[in-house]
Amino acid sequence: MSDNRYPPSGALFTVDEEKRKSEKSPHYQGDFELPREVVEDLYKQIQSDPTADRAKCRLVGWRQTARKSGNTFVSIKANVFEEKPFKAPF
């Protein structure tokens, strides 16, 4: 269980090249927690279309530096997906 110091979010950390087993191995890895609002929205998306095999959420990320190690990582957060309205280019 999480300790509630931070809102539901996650982080991606660089995987050292020597730990990657092949070219297909990920360059980043980490854990991610979704807020209830996002999970409920994902569920609604799937329930509204029985033929749907996927749902969307909006991910945002920030490049950060760890205070103790100085390593760079990406902090990520999920939001409910909202279609962006089409804007004419003129």
Q: How confident is the model at residue 88 (pLDDT cuts 50, 70, 90)?
A: confident
The answer to the question of residue 89 being in a domain is no
Residue 85: what pLDDT? Answer: 77
The answer to the question of residue 62 being in a domain is yes
The answer to the question of residue 88 being in a domain is no
Average pLDDT of the residues of the chain: 88
The answer for residues whose C-beta is within 8 angstroms of residue 74's C-beta and 6 or more apart is 11, 12, 28, 61, 62, 63, 64
Under 8 Å between Cβ of 26 and 15: yes
Q: What is the mean pLDDT of residues 33-38?
A: 93
The answer to the question of residue 49 being in a domain is yes
The answer to the question of residue 59 being in a domain is yes
Domain range for 48 is 10-80
The answer to the question of residue 18 being in a domain is yes
Q: What is the mean pLDDT of residues 43-52?
A: 92
> Between residues 5 and 82, which one has the greater pLDDT?
82
Total structural domains within the chain: 1
Instruction: Read off the pTM.
Output: 0.71
Q: What is the mean pLDDT of residues 33-61?
A: 93
